[in-house]
A and B are shown apart, each in its own frame.
Chain A
Amino acid sequence: MSAAADAAGVRLTGVKKWYGQVPAVRDVSLGIEPGEMVCLLGPSGCGKTTTLRMVAGLENPDAGEIRIGSTLVNGLAPWKRNLGMVFQNYALFPHMTVFENVAFGLNMRRLPAAEVRRQVDAAMAQVRLAAFGERRPSELSGGQRQRIALARAIVTKPSVLLLDEPLAALDKKLREQMQVEIKQLQRQVGVTTIFVTHDQEEALTLSDRIVVMDEGRIVQIGTPSEVYERPRSRFVSDFIGFTNSVSGRVNSIDGAFTRVTIASGQVVTVPSGAGIAAGDAVDLVIRPEKIVVDPTGLVDRSVIPGTLAHMVYTGAVTYYHVDIGGGAILIAMAPNPDLHDLPALGSPVALGFKPDNMLIFPRRAES
Chain B
Amino acid sequence: MAVAIADMTDKIEQRPRARVDLARLTALVALLAPAVALLGIGLVWPFLKMLAISFQDRFPDPTALTFANYATALTDPYFLRITLRTFSLALVVTLITAVLSYPVAWFLARSNSRWKHLVFLAVISPLMVSIIVRTIGWTIILGNEGMINALLVGLGIVTEPLRLMQSFWSVVVGMVHILIPFMVLSIATVLGKIDPGYAEAAAVLGASPVRNFLKITLPLSVQGIASGSVIVFCLTVGAYVTPVMLGRGQVAVLAVTIHEQMVVLVDWPTGAAVATVLTGGTLIVLLLYGLFLRRHSRR
Residue B19 is within 8 A (CB to CB) of chain A in the complex:
no
Q: B206 and A109: CB pair below 8 A?
A: yes
A-chain residues with CB within 8 Å of residue B212 when the two chains form the complex: 79
Residue B114 is within 8 A (CB to CB) of chain A in the complex:
no
Residue A132 is within 8 A (CB to CB) of chain B in the complex:
no
Q: How far apart are B197's CB and chain A's nearest CB, in angstroms?
A: 4
A-chain residues with CB within 8 Å of residue B298 when the two chains form the complex: 95
Number of B positions contacting A (CB below 8 A): 21
Q: B220 and A152: CB pair below 8 A?
A: no
Residue B204 is within 8 A (CB to CB) of chain A in the complex:
yes
Q: A79 and B204: CB pair below 8 A?
A: yes
Among B203, B215, B219, find the residue whose CB has the most chain A CB atoms closer than 10 A.
B203
Partner of A79, one of B208, B216, B219, B297: B208
Bound state CA distance, A89 and B202, in angstroms?
14
Given contacts A108-B211, A136-B299, is CB(A91)–CB(B206) below 8 Å? Answer: no
Partner of A104, one of B195, B197, B205: B205
Bound state CA distance, A94 and B201, in angstroms?
12
Q: How far apart are A192's CB and chain B's nearest CB, in angstroms?
A: 15
A-chain residues with CB within 8 Å of residue B216 when the two chains form the complex: 93
Q: A87 and B206: CB pair below 8 A?
A: no
A-chain residues with CB within 8 Å of residue B200 when the two chains form the complex: 56, 58, 78, 87, 91
Residue A83 is within 8 A (CB to CB) of chain B in the complex:
yes
A-chain residues with CB within 8 Å of residue B136 when the two chains form the complex: none
Residue B115 is within 8 A (CB to CB) of chain A in the complex:
no
Residue A105 is within 8 A (CB to CB) of chain B in the complex:
yes
Given contacts A85-B201, A91-B200, is CB(A156)–CB(B206) below 8 Å? Answer: yes
Given contacts A79-B203, A104-B202, A108-B211, is CB(A94)–CB(B220) below 8 Å? Answer: yes
Bound state CA distance, A91 and B298, in angstroms?
17
Residue A122 is within 8 A (CB to CB) of chain B in the complex:
no
Residue A84 is within 8 A (CB to CB) of chain B in the complex:
yes
Residue A77 is within 8 A (CB to CB) of chain B in the complex:
yes
Residue B67 is within 8 A (CB to CB) of chain A in the complex:
no
A-chain residues with CB within 8 Å of residue B195 when the two chains form the complex: 89, 91
Given contacts A108-B211, A136-B299, is CB(A91)–CB(B203) below 8 Å? Answer: no
Q: How far apart are A277's CB and chain B's nearest CB, in angstroms?
A: 50
B-chain residues with CB within 8 Å of residue A85 when the two chains form the complex: 201, 204
Given contacts A95-B220, A105-B206, is CB(A87)–CB(B299) below 8 Å? Answer: no
State which residues 58-80 of A face B: CB under 8 Å. Answer: 58, 77-79
Nearest A residue to B212 via CB reads A79
Partner of B205, one of A58, A77, A89, A156: A156
Residue B207 is within 8 A (CB to CB) of chain A in the complex:
yes
Q: A85-B201, A87-B200 are in contact. List 20 more A-B contacts (CB 8 A).
A: A58-B200, A77-B208, A79-B205, A79-B207, A79-B208, A81-B204, A82-B206, A83-B204, A87-B201, A91-B197, A91-B198, A91-B201, A93-B216, A94-B198, A94-B299, A104-B207, A108-B206, A108-B207, A109-B206, A138-B299
**Chain A contact residues, CB within 8 Å of chain B:** 56-58, 77-79, 81-85, 87, 89, 91, 93-95, 104-105, 108-109, 136, 138, 152, 156, 162
User: Which 10 residue pairs are nearest across A and B when measured between Cβ atoms?
Assistant: A108-B206, A105-B205, A91-B197, A91-B201, A78-B203, A85-B204, A95-B219, A79-B206, A79-B203, A108-B207
8 contacts between A and B (CB under 8 A): A57-B203, A58-B200, A91-B200, A93-B198, A95-B220, A95-B299, A104-B215, A108-B205
**Chain B contact residues, CB within 8 Å of chain A:** 195, 197-198, 200-208, 211-212, 215-216, 219-220, 297-299
